[in-house]
Amino acid sequence: MILVSSCLGGIECRYNGSHAASEKIRKLINENEAVVACPELLGGFSTPREPAEIIGGTGEDVLNGTAKVVTASGEDVTELYMEGAANTLAYAKQVNAPAIILKENSPSCGSGFIYNGTFSGQKIAGSGVTAALLKQAGYHVISENQLDNIL
């Protein structure tokens, strides 16, 4: 069962209450080939919520304790992102996911790019916290922009 970011399945769980639905992903869900999870909701956040970015590095740096996730107003929410990542990893194991498709640019789900921590819309190469943890655990993680690579 492929695991996908909930927002890609059409669930309005992004920080601003929107979704980022993909018709290809909705088809996978409707055909019972994919299940959804939102790492931020699994970490204890609600929707909507204040935007957050990784300060001082990437998701890998958050996992090793040298960077943190902070909201636009300056609140450190690193622990909630770590909890969401751990809960998403547990779910991936539970469903025996062969691949995971996550929402690009997110501080949780970005698999190739994330915002740079300045809340200016600038992106850097790197993974979000959940994507980094899943990759460390050996999962094949891609973004919605790479769907054709597995479908």
Q: pLDDT tens-digit profile of 126-148?
A: 999 999 999 999 999 999 999 87
Q: What is the mean pLDDT of residues 70-89?
A: 98
* Beta strands in 2-120, from DSSP E residues, in sequence order: 2-5, 34-37, 52-55, 68-71, 100-102, 113-115
Model confidence band, residue 150 (pLDDT cutoffs 50, 70, 90): low
Residue 12 has pLDDT above 60, yes or no: yes
Q: What is the mean pLDDT of residues 87-97?
A: 98
* Distance in angstroms (rounded) separating the CA atoms of residues 86 and 134: 9
Average pLDDT, the chain: 96
How do the domains of the chain map onto residue ranges? 2-149
